[in-house]
Homo-oligomer: A and B are copies of this chain.
Amino acid sequence: MIIIMTDPTPDQIDRILLKLRQHELEANCLQSYGKTVITAIGNSDTHEAGFYERMPGVEKVISIVTPFKLVSREFRQENTVVTAGSAVFGGNAVAVLAGPCAIESYEQLYETAVEIKQAGACMLRGGAYKPRTSPYSFQGLEREGLEILKAVSREVGLPVVSEVTDPRHVEVMCDYVDMLQIGTRNMQNFALLKEVAKSAKPILLKRGISSTMEEWLMADEYIIAGGNENIVLCERGIRTFETYTRNTLDLNAIPMVKYLSHLPIIVDPSHGTGSWRLVSPMSKASLGAGADGLIIEVHPCPEEAISDGKQSLTPEKFKQLMAELQPVAIAVGRCL
């Protein structure tokens, strides 16, 4: 923690040094050109930084420790590998998840599952509870959707992931899915984070639509601190001024998160761009950037899809994508 003061009185400096000693922080002080800079190192946290910021004479306090601990690369050097059923995240193989945005019927989901499995996907996605901007939009099949998901999972032999939106649903959802997804709107729904932290299922944590990487890693920290270490991050686009793409898929997050943290990270180019045309090039780009996996929207008939169809691939286009990804994965030393 660095405390900067402009023309402080000796008394103001003394009060700060006293407090630092009380907090058991080592400190030293440099004065020159009207500035006083006090450096303090110790087991400080952000709360204390805020405390000093309000003391008389203080202009600014700069924290020098990263606020996340258990998720950090410093805490654990080697990559964490997360498994969800037969799906593996963070190993040498790139994990490709696919499926419709929303579960609409057994037939729709079954057909999709068969197709994506054949094409090489390792996990089926499908939403039963859909967070929608409008109360008048389709909100998902809810419990019925979960039943369909579980049935198709068994029938086809693919593990499944689905979004949880309410802390009251966590327990029951664990009976139906292999992995719990926290969606972009709930990344800082701390009541929900604390609840999934208690569950035994691995978590797929999407980045908040306008959250910084630091806030995202702090949300992971909530889950790990709560007892659940099996977390996969998912970059899904951030909000910017650009309007030609629905969101700005931020691939810079891939190498940056891998530098800062030991957790695996995958990319959702479907929601991230909002356009099926961009899914293939941005999937290849994701592998180039070092992503551990992809989650792709696939719908047997995008024209009839109840939600988000514009960005869905047909099973045929998905097969083509998988074929194109193969050499790129190999080129970066991975496999599919």
Contacts and interface: CB of A to CB of B under 8 A. Distances in A.
A21 interface: no
A26 B32 contact: yes
Number of copies: 4
A135 B226 CA distance: 9
A218 interface: yes
Given A133-B188, A239-B210, A273-B252, A33 B37 contact: no
Specify which of A39, A215, A222 lies most central, judged by the most chain B CB atoms within 10 Å of its CB. Answer: A39
Contact of A166 (B53, B135, B191, B283): B191
A230 interface: no
Interface stretch (A117-125, A149-157, A323-331): A323-331
Interface in A222-246: 222, 225-226, 238-245
Q: Is the interface of A mostly helix, strand, loop or mixed?
A: mixed
Nearest to A327: B331
A239 B239 CA distance: 10
A289 B283 CA distance: 8
Contacts of A41: 30-33, 35, 37
B54 A2 contact: no
Contacts of A273: 252
Nearest to A52: B303
Interface stretch (A43-51, A87-95, A103-111, A172-180): A43-51
A204 interface: no
B284 A134 contact: no
B26 A212 contact: no
Given A45-B134, A285-B289, 12 more contacts: A27-B30, A46-B137, A54-B305, A135-B226, A165-B190, A166-B167, A185-B189, A212-B241, A212-B244, A214-B244, A244-B256, A288-B328
20 contacts: A2-B37, A32-B41, A33-B41, A46-B134, A47-B137, A67-B136, A135-B226, A166-B167, A166-B191, A189-B189, A210-B210, A212-B242, A212-B243, A213-B242, A214-B243, A240-B241, A245-B256, A248-B250, A251-B282, A283-B288
